Amino acid sequence: MDDELVARIEARLASPRLTPMLRQYLGVKAEHPEAVVLFRMGDFFEAFFEDAEECARRLDITLTHRSKEKDVPMAGVPHHALDGHLARLIEQGKTVVLVDQVEDPKLAKGLVRREVTRVVTPGTFLDPAAPSRLPRYLGSLELSPRSKTDRWALAALDVGTGELRATFGQSAELLVDEVGRLSAKEVLWSDRAESDPLLETLEAEFPGVVFTRLDGRVHDPEASLATVERVLGAEERAAAEALLPKAALVAAGRALAYAADTQARDAPDRRGQPGLGHVGRIRPYVPGDALVLDREARAHLELFRTTTGEHRGCLLWAVDRTVTPMGARRLASWLSHPPRDRKVAHARHDAVEALVSAPGSLDRIRDGLGRVGDVERLLGRLMLGRALPRDLLQLAASLAEVPGLVAAVADAVGDELGAGSGRLAELAELDPCAELRDRLLDALDPDASNDLTTGRVFRPGFDAELDHCALLADDGASAVAALEARERKATGIGSLKVRSNRVFGYFIEVTKANLSLVPDRYLRKQTMVGAERFVTDELATLEEDLRSAEARRLERTEALFLAVLEAATKESSRMRRLAEGLSDLDALAGFARLAAEQDFCRPELSSGAEIAIEGGRHPVLEQMSGALEERFVPNDVHLSSDERLMIVTGPNMAGKSTIMRQTALIALLAYAGSFVPARSARIGRVDRIHTRVGASDDLSRGRSTFMVEMAETARILRSATEHDLVILDEIGRGTSTFDGLSIAWAVAEHLHDVVRARVMFATHYHEMTELARERPGAFNRHVAVREHRDRIVFLRTLEPGGTQRSYGVQVARLAGLPPPVVARAKSLLDRLERQGRGLASPVGQLPLFEVAPEPDPVLTAVADRLSAVDVDELTPRQALDLVAELKSLLP
């Protein structure tokens, strides 16, 4: 904490010249010195002093000052634009404290009372504009340095949807994987864990994550367990305790307490812990229960974003056919935690199959879901006290879709002739929460305004008192005219008028000539020259009504809205179950749609070691229109414990990386419950997928390419087992040929002999194909090309045996190397091959150029330059640069 800042705040607070408003502000600031404090004043949220300067800088807004305190810097944002500005501050890693007026400024005596209404932090901010198709987790970590079994526990709470999961483990690597998998923006820890090396590891690994330290005395284990019980109830607590170590519950409790504290201060109270009624339970999970993909594998396989950070082109992009944000989040969670338990995947395959074979029902389901809102988040807003009238309307409209959905699902199940899928049969019983739906539709105006103060929220006819107030408020003149007409009729005085002025308010005016007709109930108020003015009880009441109608309408609207909110809140657990069902239904229907549209097949899962894919395709590449100039060519891949190490060779650009990644993705999709892009697929047990692809730079972590490559390879060798699938793509590139080949060879041997994992190993070292002769489980495949008049044609088929040629010269030609250079390179290559260089002999050591006839200096220079080039390593761009360089050598 910044002591200097705290001292400055205290010094300001001590100043006798401080205005009461600034004293109020600094009081809050003293409690939250590290946050930006925004103070509601009229229509603005204002920051002062350092915070004003910070806001001006970070938000690009003008720095001004108060008229009363010229030396106090001030900067503000209009309250209606608050969310956007909050998002920018949060994105920059700041926490923001919102101080709002908690009494009506018009009624306040002296200074308006203000309170901290929300603390907005990176992990809890519910940005209405943020993409809702991915969960947004707040992480919470509990470390137990002395524990032998659960060294760490991690809880993750999505405050917007109420999803709460918790897990635990022993190794630092798993923890790093899990934190990476959550992509949490903020992770809580208790300062009891101060100077724990595990925490330091995390902070180093995730520079973009805010690690928020909580006071361990406030958030002590007992208090956190009590929070769990308050929010979830004793039953849920006991259920979670049966499956999780205490530390995991403590982490969960801390996340709940923090969320309630920061987000739910003005939410409806539930069991003494406000605002988290949408959190129903703790979902325990064991990292080992899911097919594990570590951070490298997730990045290399481009599961949730491409290596360049885009959504288009990642696996999620390619397989997402969901129509609701709930379904999209469910799909993301299935893909990031594919259960190892084959029964789960199997049940999903059953449901997908049933839906695929009932295309009419599938269409109806997806149509219906398209009209359903984000029930999960709507419920979250409701329970956090943020729901507005239109949220409730959307909720009601969503509920109204449920019966149609249920009928469509029942049809799909029925089409299965009784053998229907278990999960689908459950989904055919979704609870439409009909009473709540009717109540909401009955109460709310179909065009309800979100503004309780001026707009119309409830249907006319829903509440007589509200209608009365509204009539008066909207149409005081006609109420007066009606009274006037009634009085004319009653008295028979045609010229009788109801009028008003500021001094006497409303009165009835009768001309002198008609005074004899005035009834007794008229009370004389004022005598004019040609007329008398009267009041009646009724007129006095009307006047009072008119004066108070606006206020009463607001009051009544608020009371009615609160009652509706309360009724909805009471149904939270039913709606939560409904939201869960809708999420599953959407994710399953999405899989079905994908399977039908892309011609995926149902994979067969087994406990064996075999991976047998026929006609497999890459799920992303085959959909990247424009990226492929040719049709995607399907391939077969077969791995088993007897044939476990596949050495994949073939020229650059042939398709080695593609076929390896597609194999991993097919296995992953199968376990996530999806059908797969293949003609048929049998996928045996896969506990974990490891990948090490290419030589990617990791300068952000300050390690050299080769170091990273070796560190990751080491990690794979250490942690892989025979139940894993290992994808190695050209490891050993980052160093010299001899080193690289030796390392690649030794790694392959180790994987074959010791680890016994199923391995696909692409390499540009043709020498590696020799392994197949030495090791029984090793075999060769190459991606075929055809030579056609010195050019190569990529066939994209995976075929038995290795290649002895790299076709580097042909690829260089494709890349645009000038014909004379290609011709010269080819003749040098021919000579090398004729001289029969040994398998492992380094290129370039033969006295090539001495034996060239009449050494021409230009040609020698070109040849020297070329011989220094490893064509396999060239990117097209480098090839072009090389051409330019070579051209500059010509006379």
Contacts of 166 (CB under 8 A, 6+ apart): 153, 154, 155, 156, 240, 244, 248, 249, 251, 252, 282, 283, 284, 285
Which residue from 603, 595, 600 is spatially nearest to 682, judged by alpha carbons?
603
Q: Which is nearer to Mg ion, 174 or 659 (CB)?
A: 659
Position among 140, 536, 649, 652 found at the interface with ligand ADP (CB under 6 A): 652
Residue 763 sits in the site that holds Mg ion (CB under 5 A): no
Q: Which is nearer to ligand ADP, 648 or 725 (CB)?
A: 648
Q: Which is nearer to Mg ion, 190 or 657 (CB)?
A: 657
Residue 650 sits in the site that holds ligand ADP (CB under 6 A): yes
Which residue from 289, 301, 294 is spatially nearest to 345, judged by alpha carbons?
289
- The strand pair at 96-101 and 114-120 is best described as antiparallel
Q: Looking at 117-125, 156-164, 174-182, 651-659, which segment touches Mg ion (CB under 5 A)?
A: 651-659
How many residues are recorded in the chain?
Answer: 891
Q: Residue ranges of the alpha helices (H) in 633-726?
A: 656-672, 705-719
Shortest Å distance, C-beta 366 to ligand ADP: 30
630 binds, among Mg ion, ligand ADP, none (CB under 5 to 8 A by kind): ligand ADP
Q: Which is nearer to Mg ion, 225 or 624 (CB)?
A: 624
Residue 657 sits in the site that holds Mg ion (CB under 5 A): yes
| Tokens found for residue 354 | 């049933």
Site size for Mg ion, by CB under 5 A?
1
Q: Which helix (H) or strand (E) holds 155?
A: strand 152-158
Shortest Å distance, C-beta 764 to ligand ADP: 9
Residue 796 sits in the site that holds ligand ADP (CB under 6 A): yes
Shortest Å distance, C-beta 825 to ligand ADP: 20
Shortest Å distance, C-beta 717 to ligand ADP: 23
| Tokens found for residue 152 | 């760490």
Residue 654 sits in the site that holds ligand ADP (CB under 6 A): yes
633 binds, among Mg ion, ligand ADP, none (CB under 5 to 8 A by kind): ligand ADP
Residue 805 sits in the site that holds ligand ADP (CB under 6 A): no
- Could you tell me if 277 and 232 are in contact, meaning their C-beta atoms sit under 8 angstroms apart? no
Task: For the chain, give the longest Cα–Cα distance.
Answer: 139
Give strand pairing partners of 37.
97
Shortest Å distance, C-beta 295 to Mg ion: 20
Q: Which is nearer to ligand ADP, 462 or 632 (CB)?
A: 632
Q: Looking at 7-15, 430-438, 655-663, 838-846, which segment touches ligand ADP (CB under 6 A)?
A: 655-663
Position among 628, 707, 714, 746 found at the interface with ligand ADP (CB under 6 A): 628
Shortest Å distance, C-beta 651 to Mg ion: 10
Residue 649 sits in the site that holds Mg ion (CB under 5 A): no
Helix axes 537-570, 434-443, angle to 10 degrees: 150
Q: Which is nearer to Mg ion, 186 or 709 (CB)?
A: 709
Q: How far apart are CA 649 and CA 655, in angstroms?
A: 10
What does DSSP assign to residue 530?
S
Shortest Å distance, C-beta 764 to Mg ion: 9
Shortest Å distance, C-beta 871 to ligand ADP: 13
Q: Looking at 234-242, 267-275, 656-664, 881-889, which segment touches ligand ADP (CB under 6 A)?
A: 656-664
* CA distances, 614 to each of 349, 632, 645 (Å): 19, 14, 18
Q: How far apart are CA 643 and CA 661, in angstroms?
A: 19
Shortest Å distance, C-beta 660 to Mg ion: 8
628 binds, among Mg ion, ligand ADP, none (CB under 5 to 8 A by kind): ligand ADP
Residue 656 sits in the site that holds ligand ADP (CB under 6 A): yes
Position among 211, 462, 632, 706 found at the interface with ligand ADP (CB under 6 A): 632
Determine the residue type at 724. D
Residue 713 sits in the site that holds Mg ion (CB under 5 A): no
Strand order in the sheet with 114-120: 64-65, 73-78, 44-48, 36-41, 96-101, 114-120
Which residue from 673, 666, 501 is spatially nearest to 587, judged by alpha carbons?
673
Q: How far apart are CA 853 and CA 863, in angstroms?
A: 13
Sequential DSSP letters for 442-488: HHB-TT--S-TTTS--BPTTS-HHHHHHHHHHH-HHHHHHHHHHHHH
Q: How far apart are CA 860 and CA 858, in angstroms?
A: 5
Residue 662 sits in the site that holds Mg ion (CB under 5 A): no
Q: Which is nearer to Mg ion, 40 or 300 (CB)?
A: 300
Shortest Å distance, C-beta 289 to ligand ADP: 32
Q: Which is nearer to Mg ion, 329 or 661 (CB)?
A: 661
Q: Looking at 44-52, 490-498, 586-594, 652-660, which segment touches ligand ADP (CB under 6 A)?
A: 652-660
| Tokens found for residue 791 | 């050019």
Shortest Å distance, C-beta 767 to ligand ADP: 18
Q: How far apart are CA 678 and CA 599, in angstroms?
A: 8
Residue 583 sits in the site that holds Mg ion (CB under 5 A): no
Q: Which is nearer to ligand ADP, 147 or 696 (CB)?
A: 696
- SS3 state at 818: coil
Which residue from 808, 788, 499, 851 is spatially nearest to 649, judged by alpha carbons?
808
Residue 633 sits in the site that holds ligand ADP (CB under 6 A): yes
Total Cβ atoms within 10 A of residue 727: 24
Q: Looking at 25-33, 436-444, 541-549, 652-660, which segment touches Mg ion (CB under 5 A)?
A: 652-660
144 binds, among ligand ADP, Mg ion, none (CB under 5 to 8 A by kind): none
Which residue from 236, 237, 242, 141 is spatially nearest to 189, judged by alpha carbons?
141
Position among 144, 657, 763, 803 found at the interface with ligand ADP (CB under 6 A): 657
Shortest Å distance, C-beta 274 to ligand ADP: 53
- The strand pair at 604-605 and 680-683 is best described as parallel
Binders of ligand ADP in range 586-625 (CB under 6 A)? 621
Which residue from 551, 519, 550, 556 is spatially nearest to 535, judged by alpha carbons?
519
Mask 738-777, x = binds ligand ADP (CB under 6 A)? ----------------------------------------
Residue 257 sits in the site that holds ligand ADP (CB under 6 A): no
Total Cβ atoms within 10 A of residue 179: 23
Site size for ligand ADP, by CB under 6 A?
14
* CA distances, 756 to each of 583, 634, 828 (Å): 39, 27, 41
Burial of 388 (0-12, 13-18, 19+ CB in 10 A): middle
Residue 118 sits in the site that holds ligand ADP (CB under 6 A): no
Residue 630 sits in the site that holds ligand ADP (CB under 6 A): yes
Q: What is the dihedral of CA 97, 99, 100, 106, to 10 degrees?
A: -160
Residue 569 sits in the site that holds Mg ion (CB under 5 A): no
- Could you tell me if 802 and 811 are in contact, meaning their C-beta atoms sit under 8 angstroms apart? no
Shortest Å distance, C-beta 219 to ligand ADP: 50
By beta carbon distance, the residue nearest ligand ADP is 655
Shortest Å distance, C-beta 73 to Mg ion: 56
Q: How far apart are CA 279 and CA 682, in angstroms?
A: 39
Residue 324 sits in the site that holds ligand ADP (CB under 6 A): no
Residue 389 sits in the site that holds ligand ADP (CB under 6 A): no
796 binds, among Mg ion, ligand ADP, none (CB under 5 to 8 A by kind): ligand ADP
Shortest Å distance, C-beta 45 to Mg ion: 52
Q: Which is nearer to ligand ADP, 644 or 781 (CB)?
A: 781
Binding site for Mg ion (CB under 5 A): 657
Residues that bind ligand ADP (CB under 6 A): 621, 628, 630, 632-633, 650, 652-658, 796
